[in-house]
Structure 1
Amino acid sequence: MANNSLKSFASGMIIATSIFTAVYYFQPFNKREQKIVENDTLTSEEVQAYLNNNGYISISEQTYDELVAKSKEFEAIKNQTQKASEPKLPEQKETVPIPPSPEVEKKIFTLTVKSGMDSIQIANLLENAGIVDSGREFEQFLTKKDWTRSIQVGTYKLNSSMSYEEIGKIITKKK
């Protein structure tokens, strides 16, 4: 008897599913529910306003191509000048860091670390301020030292002559 009950239940499910399918596919189309999607086209004024509001500029393709060509010319001249001025030295396995020349202006920056800031945000702030050469490298340095979770909330005076180690010790209050 249980077998007949199961067959009856399965038959009922098939019939109900068939009815719902028929109603769904064969119901009359209601035009009031149809959404008309209009093709929004932007005017050049709207595009220009967007660019200006977000700090971008637009240039023509011709101007862009000219800038790219000049950039390539500049790189080629720069490479030729560097090659010509480099003395021929035997290969060295270790590189010795060159201290910054005294005529380079030291940049001073006050870093304010707020609650919720991560090491990537801090590294980008330092790069934008000219304190570190590469925010990505500084963030990798902090990660390698396992200092990313030790950064303390506060305000710190930093300058561009500091090493990654010095900056890291200051913002993590490590000794």
Structure 2
Amino acid sequence: MDRRTTRLLASILLVVAVILIGIKNFQTKSEAAATPPKKGYIEVKKTTYTDLEQEVEHWKQKYEDLKKKKATPPEKTAVKTMHLYINDGMTSKEVSKQMEKAKIIKDANEFNDYLSAKKWQQSIQIGDYKLTNEMGMQEIAETITGNLPDKQ
């Protein structure tokens, strides 16, 4: 073989190699783009996947925290009992403040407003009453006024 034939053969092989490499790269990219994801799956970007993994870890931690919180029994508040002495001439505000001070009710003004809404401020009866912090506003009001519970 002479030089010209060798060069021609080498040139042809080089062109064929370049064409084959180009075809292979094009096929790989087009196959990846043309292949739809399997049924029931979706494609996500890597950044989106990473964000989702972090969110999963966040929710797992929240779940564990809630599990721990639920596992620990709630603190029982001590039952507070009070003997309330209502004397002649005491106002509903004075009675409410005594109960708030003894921690039978949380807010004296709220209780006084409750009595006012029911129009029971003038119905408070003189006497000695045993009250606890487990009693609701209605039960306390009914006890110290002598009013019967509303029937609905």
Choose between structure 1 and 2 for higher RCO, CA contacts under 8 A separated by at least 6 residues: 2
When normalised by structure 1's length, the TM-score is 0.42
| TM-score, scaled relative to structure 2 | 0.48
Q: Greater Rg, structure 1 or structure 2?
A: 2
